[in-house]
Structure 1
Amino acid sequence: MPEEESPGPAYGWYALGVLVLVYALNFIDRQMLTILAVDIKRDLHISDAQFGFLYGTAFGVFYALFGIPLGKLADRWPRTRLLAIGLATWSTMTAASGLACNFTQLGFARIGVGVGEATAGPCGYSLLADYFPPRRRATAVAIYSAGIYLGGGLALSIGAGLAHAWDHAFVLGARPLGLAGWQAAFLGLGLPGLGMSLWVSSLKEPRRGRHEVGHRIMEMSGRDALRAFGRDVATIAPPFTVFMAARRGVKALVVNLLLLAVCALAAWGLTEWLGDMPQWIVLGIGVYAVVSWTQSLRHDDPEAYGAIWQNPAVVGINIGYGLTCALTYAATAFGPLYAMEVLHAPANEVALIVGGGGAAGGALGVIAGGALGDRLSGGVYHSRRLVVVLGALSLAMIAYGFLMATGSAHVFYWIVFPLWFLLSGALGSAAGTIVNIVPARVRATATASFFLGATLLGLALGPYVTGRLSGAWHSLWVGLTGILVVMPFSFASLVIAWRHLVRQERAKGL
Structure 2
Amino acid sequence: MPESARIADRTERVGGPYAWYVLIVLMVVYVFNFIDRSILTILGPYIQKDLGLSDGQIGLLSGTVFALFYGLFGLALGRLADTWVRTWTIALGLSIWSGMTALSGFATSFGALAAARVGVGVGEASASPAAYSLIGDWFPREKRATALSIYSSGIFIGAGLSFAISGVVVAGWNKAYAGGAAPLGLSGWQAAFLIIGIPGLLLAALVMTLREPPRGLADGILTKGPREPHPFLKMFAELGTILPPFTLFTLRRDGATGRVVGANFLAIVFAIAAAIILTRWTDSLVPAAKLKILFSVGRTAITSNAVQWAAMALGVYGVFAWSQSLSVRDKPLYTLVWKTPTLLLAALAGTLISFGSYAIGAWVYIYAFRMLHATPAAAGIALGLGGALGGLIGTSMGGIVGDAWRKRDPAGRLKVSLLASIVPLPIVAYAFFTTSLPVFYVCYALYGLIGTFWLGGITTTMQDLVLPRMRGTAGAMFFMGTTLLGLGNGPYMVGLISDATGDLRFAILCSLGGAPIVWLCIVLAIRWLPAAEASRVERARAAGEKI
Aligned to 2:529: 501
For residue 226 of structure 1, report the CA deviation from its aligned partner: 3.8
For residue 410 of structure 1, report the CA deviation from its aligned partner: 1.4
Q: 2:174 and 2:428 mapped to 1: Cα distance?
A: 35
Q: CA offsets, 1:293-320, max 9 Å, x none? A: 1110111111111111111111001111
For residue 255 of structure 1, report the CA deviation from its aligned partner: 1.1
Q: 2:22 and 2:327 mapped to 1: Cα distance?
A: 34
The change in CA–CA distance for 1:194 and 1:219 in structure 2 (over 3 A counts) is farther
The answer to whether the 8 Å contact 2:421/2:518 transfers is no
The answer to whether the 8 Å contact 1:317/1:430 transfers is yes
Secondary structure of 1:484's partner?
coil
Q: 1:384 and 1:138 mapped to 2: Cα distance?
A: 11
Aligned to 1:412: 440
Aligned to 2:260: 252
Aligned to 2:504: 476
1:22 maps onto 2:29 in alignment: yes
- Equivalent residue for 2:487, pick from 448, 459, 473: 459
Aligned to 1:149: 156
1:363 maps onto 2:370 in alignment: no
Aligned to 2:415: 387
Matches within 5 A, 1:107-256: 107-171=114-178, 173-213=180-220, 215-247=221-253, 248-256=256-264
- Equivalent residue for 1:91, pick from 61, 75, 98: 98
Aligned to 2:286: none
For residue 230 of structure 1, report the CA deviation from its aligned partner: 2.5
The answer to whether the 8 Å contact 2:167/2:381 transfers is no
* More displaced stretch, 463-472 vs 450-459: 450-459
Secondary structure of 2:423's partner?
helix
1:261 maps onto 2:289 in alignment: no
1:450 maps onto 2:475 in alignment: no
Instruction: Give, as a single letter, the amino acid of the residue that structure 2 aligns with 1:454.
Output: T
For residue 238 of structure 1, report the CA deviation from its aligned partner: 2.5
For residue 326 of structure 1, report the CA deviation from its aligned partner: 0.8
Q: 1:238 and 1:382 mapped to 2: Cα distance?
A: 41
For residue 172 of structure 1, report the CA deviation from its aligned partner: 5.7
Aligned to 2:3: none
Q: 2:232 and 2:37 mapped to 1: Cα distance?
A: 27
* More displaced stretch, 321-330 vs 161-170: 161-170
**Structure of higher CA gyration radius:** 2
The answer to whether the 8 Å contact 1:76/1:219 transfers is no
The change in CA–CA distance for 1:324 and 1:462 in structure 2 (over 3 A counts) is same
Aligned to 2:360: 331
The answer to whether the 8 Å contact 2:56/2:496 transfers is yes
For residue 253 of structure 1, report the CA deviation from its aligned partner: 2.0
The answer to whether the 8 Å contact 1:82/1:123 transfers is yes
The change in CA–CA distance for 1:504 and 1:281 in structure 2 (over 3 A counts) is closer
The change in CA–CA distance for 1:303 and 1:507 in structure 2 (over 3 A counts) is closer
Instruction: Give, as a single letter, the amino acid of the residue that structure 2 aligns with 1:236.
Output: I
The answer to whether the 8 Å contact 1:370/1:429 transfers is yes
Gaps of 5+ in 2: 1-8, 284-304, 537-547
Instruction: Give, as a single letter, the amino acid of the residue that structure 1 aligns with 2:477.
Output: S
Secondary structure of 2:453's partner?
helix
* More displaced stretch, 73-82 vs 421-430: 421-430
Q: 1:114 and 1:239 mapped to 2: Cα distance?
A: 22
Q: 1:218 and 1:90 mapped to 2: Cα distance?
A: 31
- Compute the TM-score of the two structures, normalised by the length of structure 1: 0.95
Aligned to 1:274: 282
Q: CA offsets, 1:375-424, max 9 Å, x none? A: 1112x844111100001111011211221221211111111122111221
Gaps of 5+ in 1: none
The change in CA–CA distance for 1:244 and 1:434 in structure 2 (over 3 A counts) is same
Aligned to 1:440: 468
* More displaced stretch, 101-110 vs 6-15: 6-15
Q: CA offsets, 1:28-65, max 9 Å, x none? A: 00111111111011111111111111001111121111
Instruction: Give, as a single letter, the amino acid of the residue that structure 1 aligns with 2:442.
Output: W
The answer to whether the 8 Å contact 1:246/1:252 transfers is no
Q: CA offsets, 1:206-235, max 9 Å, x none? A: 11101223x211244332544432321111
- Compute the TM-score of the two structures, normalised by the length of structure 2: 0.89
1:402 maps onto 2:430 in alignment: yes
1:285 maps onto 2:314 in alignment: yes
The answer to whether the 8 Å contact 1:49/1:471 transfers is yes
For residue 290 of structure 1, report the CA deviation from its aligned partner: 1.0
Matches within 5 A, 1:291-302: 291-302=320-331
The answer to whether the 8 Å contact 1:77/1:220 transfers is no
For residue 505 of structure 1, report the CA deviation from its aligned partner: 7.4
For residue 252 of structure 1, report the CA deviation from its aligned partner: 2.3
Q: CA offsets, 1:478-500, max 9 Å, x none? A: 11111121111122122221111
For this pair of structures, how many residues does the alignment match?
502
The answer to whether the 8 Å contact 2:342/2:532 transfers is no
Aligned to 1:44: 51
Q: 2:534 and 2:456 mapped to 1: Cα distance?
A: 24
Instruction: Give, as a single letter, the amino acid of the residue that structure 2 aligns with 1:238.
Output: P
RMSD: 1.8
Q: 2:172 and 2:224 mapped to 1: Cα distance?
A: 51
Q: CA offsets, 1:188-222, max 9 Å, x none? A: 11111111111101100111101223x21124433
Richer in helix (by share): 1
Q: 1:172 and 1:449 mapped to 2: Cα distance?
A: 49
For residue 171 of structure 1, report the CA deviation from its aligned partner: 3.8
